[in-house]
Amino acid sequence: MGEILKLLRPKQWSKNLFIFLPLFFAGQIQDPNLILNCLVTFAAFSFMASAIYGINDVVDVKEDRLHPKKSKRPIASGRISIPVAILISMLLILISFSLIWFYPSTNKVQQLLILGIYLIMNILYCFWLKRVAIIDVMFIAIGFVLRLIIGGMTADIPLTHWIVIMTFLLTLFIGFAKRRDDLILKNNHGITLRKNTNRYNLDFINQVLCLLGGITIVCYIMYTVSPEVIVRFKSPYMYITTVFVLGGIVRYLQLAIVDQNTGSPTEILLKDRFIQGCLALWIASFYLIIYLNG
């Protein structure tokens, strides 16, 4: 059971919290029915993501055996056979679609469509697109946008162009930070994990990270001072939350570029107190402005 859990990577399910963002930004995070709906979608998306992790590990088993950390994964280490891993992934895909199909929802067909698009995109990614530089990172970012979209469908909340743009930019930023990790591993240990690594270098990625980080902050500021946001939340003080977004992104850049730390968003979120503090203060300030002001 322990090896199966490692294959599923439940720690990575935190990425699916993006599903709750439309609920949060719409000021409806306190609605128990909508929360339950989003929890079901969260579970379905998490099972689908775990299935894709299993498929990806099967495809990358040879490369993973060369990686100092990935070589300890269940398939790469031989503790779970490839046929068993494929069977587990197929079962998870079935469970994922079944959760959406059998749970009552007004946008069931659209949700199934998004889930199917996510599955097809990631199969293409596993077998081909992850080898194409820049496109590989863009596909990861699109995956997060799909999480956002299915969250909006689940709660029946229309998404603004601002939240879609910011989600895409932020996750693109994180994706390039992870590619930076691959380059550092290659430069320090001579291990090439991806065939497209030669299409990147540290100078290029450092500049891209700074560019995307800056654009994300500017977009967030424009979002907080836009008339539609001020009217919707009945407050002109949304811009105050910018300081925590700025602090989190700058800290991320410091860890990636100065400290040469991992670019994995999950690991950093679980370990770095500064980013945890920025996230907690951002949520608290946003909550105070949206919910207590209304």
Q: How many CA atoms lie within 13 A of 230 on its CB side?
A: 9
Side chain identity at residue 6, one-letter code: K
Residue 113: pLDDT above 90?
A: yes
pLDDT given for residue 192 in this prediction: 62
Segment 155-159 shows an average pLDDT of 89
Residue 136: pLDDT above 70?
A: yes
Residue 194: pLDDT above 70?
A: no
Q: Give the chain's mean pLDDT.
A: 87
Residue 152: pLDDT above 60?
A: yes
Q: Do residues 40 and 76 lie in contact, with contact meaning Cβ atoms separated by under 8 Å?
A: no
Q: What is the pLDDT of residues 240-285, one digit of tens each?
A: 999 999 999 999 888 877 877 655 666 777 788 999 999 999 989 9
Q: Between these two residues, 176 and 27, which has the higher pLDDT value?
A: 176
Question: Per mean pLDDT, which of 131-135, 139-143, 200-204, 271-275 is the most reliable?
Answer: 139-143
Rounded to two decimals, the pTM is: 0.88
pLDDT given for residue 263 in this prediction: 55
Alpha helix (H) residue ranges in the chain: 2-8, 21-25, 32-59, 61-64, 82-102, 108-127, 135-155, 161-189, 202-225, 227-233, 242-253, 265-271, 273-287
Q: Calculate the CA 36 to chain-centre distance.
A: 21
Residue 121: pLDDT above 90?
A: yes
Residue 96: pLDDT above 90?
A: yes
pLDDT given for residue 191 in this prediction: 60
Of the chain, the percentage scoring pLDDT greater than 70 comes to 94
Could you count the other beta carbons within 10 Å of the beta carbon of residue 42?
Answer: 22
Could you count the other beta carbons within 10 Å of the beta carbon of residue 242?
Answer: 17
pLDDT given for residue 294 in this prediction: 56
